[in-house]
Structure 1
């Protein structure tokens, strides 16, 4: 009878995310990961073949979570939906920057990593489409200044995600402040 695994796939991905946020893609190594998990390093290979598969799976998991939360938002009032989406994005703001490293993942030797990155790309398209529809509705309903081109309004909105929370406010409160600031600059007088 085999020895019970000391960590689950979910725990492995949780620790991967934590270490990626702390050390970045380049600083993340399987030796570092195994040193932060209770159990044999070989257990990692029961789930993933290499670093790139683990990182891609971690990124996919984050995107699945963002997609799930974004799709659950009531879009009846487009302005409230935009504020709620900002909160969803801010919850993963740190990881958002790491998604920029997705191009560093070697997919040549891993179908799993390639599939996960394809999922991430499709998720970005889905989220982009959701936002564009909300922004168009907001402008059509007179909630946004039509003299400002929509790509500018959207670009500034997205840059809110990277705004440092120097006040260390809880995410919902921080999101509300950023949204108010954004809308004050893009809203109608």
Structure 2
């Protein structure tokens, strides 16, 4: 009779995410993770050969969850409504870019499982780009977004807003509203 697993995927991935965000890839170890989960290192090694297998599985889980939630945003509304939803969504997932950057730290020569996971993550990135590109295309179709601005610049500006430090502790709702205004209308008086 097989012994029951001592942690759920959600517990494992939540602890993994916290470690990656707080400490980074280099400091991540099964020993520290096992301590957080209150299990032995061996119980983690039963499922993952090394930290790269676990981290790549976690990244697939995170990206899949992000894409599902993004897909569930109302797509039938006009561009400005979708823009508001998108900015709110990005701030709800403000650490996604920090988490996903870890994939580039995983060594290329790794296990077959990691290589496969990285391939799937590449497909997720393409899917994410397609969804965001369709958002920009809608803005252009409605003649709201300037056609001469490259999509990469627009998407980069949108996504990098979550990295702007709020040194003056402006309340979150005011902070987000100000970012929406600057992105949507610029900073110059018309």
TM-score, shorter chain, exceeding 0.5: yes
Between stretches 121-130 and 104-113, larger displacement belongs to: 104-113
Higher helix share: 1
In structure 1, the residue matched to 2:48 is 48
Residue 2 of structure 1, CA deviation: 6.0
Paired residues, what number? 187
Residue 134 of structure 1, CA deviation: 1.6
Give the alignment's TM-score, normalised by structure 1: 0.84
d(CA) in 1 for partners of 2:145, 2:83: 12
Q: Does 1:81 align with 2:95?
A: no
Residue 7 of structure 1, CA deviation: 1.6
d(CA) in 2 for partners of 1:162, 1:104: 20
Q: SS of the counterpart of 1:108?
A: coil
In structure 2, the residue matched to 1:68 is 68
d(CA) in 2 for partners of 1:161, 1:61: 21
Residue 26 of structure 1, CA deviation: 0.7
Structure 1, unaligned stretches of length 5 or more?
none
Residue 173 of structure 1, CA deviation: 6.3
Q: Does 1:26 align with 2:45?
A: no
d(CA) in 1 for partners of 2:38, 2:141: 55
Instruction: Specify whether residues 53 and 174 from structure 1 end up closer, same or farther in structure 2 by C-alpha distance, changes over 3 A only.
Output: farther
